[in-house]
């Protein structure tokens, strides 16, 4: 086991305080949106006193680092662990399935679009399922709400401009109808989008009480940050979820979602495929997004796993990753790696190392089980069931 230094990504929606405070560093006023722990080629973590990039450590001896089964299946570390600290909303987005990613990557390569081009939708051939576990109260949009319930929400806003939206929902509440409504919103020109969204935002800001007050407050906040963006209307079609610390959401392929505010531990497949759907100044590939988005309404499955022997295990139905939250109070032995351990509270000691709040460690497959003692909250990111 070796200590691991994560890399901070300074996206403008990031909190100026959450990650510096986790790491025990001075608050500078600059945003720190994500803290990455993994072997992603764009920002690999640094291992040990020599600060070797983790992707190079894995590549130097993949069987020792990953184990033979994981190496044979993935050829690299298949997951990325992050601390995500949002002070402002992220863009509406969805991620492709593996077949969609493979087809899209091949198509864009054939078209000669550079992998790092701003109009590129597929940067690799992988899917990007993810799970977010709240460290603080955490707000998110997650999948389409049942259209009947959405009509109830929109009825409390009451602007005439919503007549087209409500009419489309009533005429065809099927997934195909939701998909057509999403495409219509995405293809509005700037003036029509503003004519639709601005009165809705004003109405939501004025009406602070009564049923669906939280949904209206969310729309008002989005409209203040993204004036005239039809993504505000799209947001009102989605489930608005508030996670409490320790609760989590798993997001599979096609789930249209956005993280709005809060700090959490996020784990995902080691991919960078993001298809944006509004609330952003970045490229929006409307036809591809419509193909990828899963428009079947859902009720988000908020995970609240019980502690068993001090360990809460989150449901992650993919082979690339697993996540456990260990509430350490004494001693515990964790299974072998490959794994990344992240302490978010307290102090844990094991294998000659001390993990204080904000500290992380890399556990290669050939290390064997790790025994820790202390009082701490430690997240263990590992590989999922390889089946």
What's the pLDDT score for residue 228? 95
- Report the mean per-residue pLDDT for the chain: 96
Q: Which of 276, 304, 325, 357 is flagged as catalytic?
A: 276
How large is the average pLDDT for residues 145-150?
Answer: 98
How large is the average pLDDT for residues 100-109?
Answer: 96
Model confidence band, residue 380 (pLDDT cutoffs 50, 70, 90):
very high
What's the pLDDT score for residue 41? 87
What's the pLDDT score for residue 165? 97
Report whether pLDDT(387) > 90. Answer: no
How large is the average pLDDT for residues 10-15?
Answer: 96
The string of pLDDT tens digits covering residues 276-302 is 999 998 889 999 999 999 999 999 999
Report whether pLDDT(160) > 90. Answer: no
Cα 302 to Cα 242: distance, rounded to the nearest angstrom:
9
Percentage with pLDDT > 90 across the chain: 95
Instruction: Tell me, yes or no, if 170 is annotated catalytic.
Output: no
What's the pLDDT score for residue 161? 86
The string of pLDDT tens digits covering residues 187-232 is 999 999 999 999 999 999 999 899 999 999 999 999 999 999 999 9
The string of pLDDT tens digits covering residues 329-366 is 999 999 999 999 999 999 999 989 999 999 999 999 99
| pTM assigned to the model | 0.96
Q: CB within 8 A of 111, min separation 6: which ones?
A: none
- Cα torsion through 46, 47, 51, 54, rounded to 10: -60
- For 124, the token pair is 């690799």
What's the pLDDT score for residue 281? 87
Cα 13 to Cα 23: distance, rounded to the nearest angstrom:
19
Backbone angles phi, psi at 66, to 5 degrees: -105, -20
- For 189, the token pair is 């020109």
Backbone angles phi, psi at 160, to 5 degrees: -65, -30
Domains, the chain, ordered by start: 9-51+78-140+243-292 (2.60.120.10), 146-235 (no CATH), 311-382 (2.60.120.10)
How large is the average pLDDT for residues 158-167?
Answer: 92
Q: Which residue has the tokens 């998110």?
A: 140
How large is the average pLDDT for residues 230-247?
Answer: 98
- Report whether 266 contacts 381 (CB < 8 A): no
Under DSSP, the state recorded for 101 is: H
- For 169, the token pair is 């929902």
């Amino acid at each position: 086991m070796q200590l691991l230094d994560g890399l901070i990504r300074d996206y403008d929606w990031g909190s100026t305080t959450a990650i510096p405070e986790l790491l025990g560093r001075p608050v500078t006023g600059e945003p720190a949106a994500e803290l990455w722990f993994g072997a992603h080629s764009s920002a690999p973590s640094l291992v040990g006193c020599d600060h070797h990039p983790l992707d190079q450590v894995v590549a130097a001896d993949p069987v020792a680092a990953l184990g033979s089964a994981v190496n044979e299946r993935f050829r690299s570390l298949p997951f990325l662990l992050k601390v995500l600290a949002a002070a402002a909303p992220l863009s509406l987005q969805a991620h492709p399935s593996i077949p969609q990613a493979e087809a899209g990557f091949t198509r864009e390569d054939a078209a000669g679009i550079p992998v790092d081009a701003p109009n590129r939708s597929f940067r690799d051939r992988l899917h990007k399922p993810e799970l977010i576990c709240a460290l603080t109260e955490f707000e998110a949009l997650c999948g389409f709400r049942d259209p009947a319930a959405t009509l109830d929400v929109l009825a409390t806003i009451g602007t005439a401009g919503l007549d087209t939206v409500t009419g489309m929902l009533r005429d065809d509440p099927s997934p195909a109808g939701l998909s057509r409504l999403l495409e219509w919103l995405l293809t509005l020109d700037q003036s029509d989008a503003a004519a639709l969204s601005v009165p809705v935002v004003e109405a939501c800001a004025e009406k602070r009480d009564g049923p669906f007050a939280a949904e209206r407050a969310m729309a008002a906040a989005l409209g203040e940050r993204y004036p005239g963006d039809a993504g505000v209307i799209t947001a009102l079609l989605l489930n608005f979820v508030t996670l409490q610390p320790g609760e989590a959401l798993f997001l599979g392929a096609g789930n249209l979602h956005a993280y709005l505010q809060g700090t959490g531990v996020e784990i995902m497949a080691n991919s960078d495929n993001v298809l944006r759907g509004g609330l952003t100044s970045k490229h929006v590939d409307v036809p591809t997004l419509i193909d990828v988005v899963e428009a079947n309404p859902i009720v988000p499955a908020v995970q609240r796993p019980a502690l068993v022997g001090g360990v809460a295990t989150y449901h992650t139905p993919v082979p690339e990753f697993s996540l456990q939250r260990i509430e350490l109070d004494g001693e515990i032995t964790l299974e072998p790696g490959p794994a990344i351990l992240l302490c978010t509270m307290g102090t844990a000691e094991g294998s000659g190392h001390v993990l204080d709040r904000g500290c992380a460690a890399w556990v290669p497959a050939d290390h064997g089980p790790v025994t820790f003692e202390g009082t701490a909250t430690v997240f263990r990111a590992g590989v999922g069931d390889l089946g």
